[in-house]
Chains A and B, each alone.
Chain A
Amino acid sequence: MMAGTLQLETMGLSKRFGDTLALDGVSLKIERGEFVAVLGPSGSGKSTLFRCITRLTEPDSGEVYVGGRPMLGVGGQTLAATRREIGIVFQQFNIIRRRTALENVLAGRLRAMPLWRVASGVFARTDIECAAAALDAVGLSKQLHQRADTLSGGQQQRVAIARALAQESRVLLADEPVASLDPETAASVLALMHSLARSTGLAILCTLHQPEFASRYADRTLQMRNGRLGDP
């Protein structure tokens, strides 16, 4: 692989909850445009891995680099700036129900917005255009102004993906993104993620339950077992 294309790297990431070692020295590397799937039973540490990468949970030891910049041992503005490089998609979509699809995607651009724009909802043209383009990329150009809680599950997950795109992140962490969707919708969401990785260079780390989805859409598949990451 070419130097400088490494987007996400973890080294020896560990996290202990009481007596259980939830993460046991997890090391992984994901290149630009690469779609990596992680398989593993519930409780194997997949969600903890994501929460430790983003520092929603603080890991005990190890290192995390996003686009070559360290995530651990930094705080305040530096952490916020590096965090912006990570988009997240959750199983439960985590969209703001009472806002429109477009406003939800704009949430990915809050950081650089002046406070008065956030409070008043009067957004800059450039932000709106970026959000609309992201929704277009996930096939929701007709639903821009539809309230998010009236969208179907598959559409809500597409909104969440568009939010990560509008955030202009390098890495997309997808935590069981299709577990709440029917098989057909799940396949179309994964196909979308696969093509976005190719077209935008987004590095994707995605946990899945079904091995057949992983082998069909991912470039590489890893297996998580008792907090350890290995080949399947």
Chain B
Amino acid sequence: MAEVSAPQPAQPGLAAGRLKFAALLLATAAFYLACIYVADLNLAKLWLGLPRLATWAGRAWPPDFSEFPILLYRAAETVAMATVGISIGALIAAPVCLLAAANTTPSLWLAYPARWVLNALRGIDSFVFALIFVAAVGLGPFAGVLGIALHSAGSIAKLWAEAIETAAPGPLEAARMSGASRLKVFLYALLPDVMPSLASILLYLWEFNVRSSTVLGIVGAGGIGQELKNSMDLLLFDRLFAILLIILAMVTAIDALSAWLRRKLS
């Protein structure tokens, strides 16, 4: 019965499906063309610029490590900014993620506003925050720390809330039945369960922030990025190359350390 009657109503549905697919394809193509036009792709300009790039590359060798101690100090500044920034971010995120997670929030009336705040923090890049804080607290790594802290507070709390929501509800209900308060239930029954994933998320974001905060110096918010900008402005390409090598070494080392720690956690 079903085999006989099924194809008949399916025919018009199929045609409508194809039409929809074609429309989608057309819309995607139009969107792409518009993006290429607006992005001002120009292969001729690239071709003309190539000799200039080649000269620069020639002048970058050998890398200039004559200021190695100060460059190393700036790299350490970048790592320090990311570390302190993410720690402050975590302190902000801890109470907010408990309000945002569906299984720990005291009320949905609090959960939704909490999520809006988190999305706003996440939506504004630490680079943009740093730009504002440089104006407020002056040049230097402290502005970078504040920028990283605010932006990562949003990311940490969102990822933490998601991790908390995946916890099994049973042990929570069992602990709540002992008449214990929400906070006690969270600390005792939930935290040990989700602790490894919370720590893993924090490590990942730390590693991510070390990478992304290399550019914060460009707006004057401290770290190796400041030296990068100076060298570029003065066209010191051998020094620039040395800085890039230091950034690569730093990021690789931090990635490896974070990956190793996260493996230990799971």
Contacts and interface: CB of A to CB of B under 8 A. Distances in A.
Interface of A: 54, 56, 80-81, 83-84, 86-88, 90, 92-99, 107-111, 113, 115, 118-119, 160, 163, 167
B171 A94 contact: yes
Contact of B178 (A90, A93, A109, A115): A109
A96 B193 CA distance: 7
B171 A88 contact: no
A184 B193 CA distance: 31
Given A96-B189, A97-B193, 14 more contacts: A56-B173, A81-B179, A83-B177, A90-B170, A95-B174, A96-B192, A98-B195, A107-B175, A110-B175, A111-B178, A111-B180, A115-B183, A115-B187, A163-B178
Given A96-B189, A97-B193, A54 B177 contact: yes
Nearest to B173: A56
14 contacts: A56-B173, A83-B179, A84-B177, A84-B179, A93-B170, A94-B168, A94-B170, A94-B171, A96-B171, A110-B184, A111-B179, A113-B184, A118-B188, A163-B178
B148 interface: no
Contact of B184 (A90, A93, A94, A115): A115
A118 B171 CA distance: 16
Contacts of B171: 94-97
B185 interface: yes
B11 to A, nearest CB: 36
A107 B179 contact: no
Contacts of B175: 96, 107, 110
A60 B251 CA distance: 60
A80 B179 contact: yes
Contact of A92 (B170, B181, B187): B170
Nearest to A79: B179
Contacts of A110: 175, 178-180, 184-185, 188
Interface in B180-217: 180-181, 183-185, 187-189, 192-193, 195
Contacts of B187: 115, 118-119
B174 A94 contact: yes
Q: Say whether chain B's binding surface is mostly helix, strand, loop, or mixed.
A: helix
Contact of B174 (A99, A109, A160): A160
Nearest to A107: B175
Q: Which size bracket describes the interface of B in this complex?
A: 20 to 34
Contacts of B193: 96-98
Contacts of B189: 96, 107
B184 A163 contact: no
A99 B187 CA distance: 12
Pairs A-B, 9 closest by C-beta atoms: A94-B170, A110-B180, A84-B179, A80-B179, A111-B179, A94-B174, A98-B192, A118-B184, A96-B171
Contacts of A87: 177
A84 to B, nearest CB: 4
A102 B178 CA distance: 16
Contacts of A94: 168, 170-171, 173-174
Contacts of B177: 54, 56, 83-84, 86-88, 167
B82 to A, nearest CB: 28
A107 B173 contact: no
Contacts of A118: 180, 184, 187-188
B170 A99 contact: no
A118 B186 CA distance: 10
Given A98-B193, A118-B184, A167 B174 contact: no
B177 to A, nearest CB: 5
Most chain-A Cβ atoms within 10 A of its Cβ — which of B170, B183, B185?
A: B170
Given A98-B192, A98-B193, A110-B185, A88 B180 contact: no
Contacts of B185: 110
Contacts of A163: 174, 178
A96 B177 CA distance: 14
A84 B168 CA distance: 22
A96 B192 CA distance: 8
Contacts of A81: 179
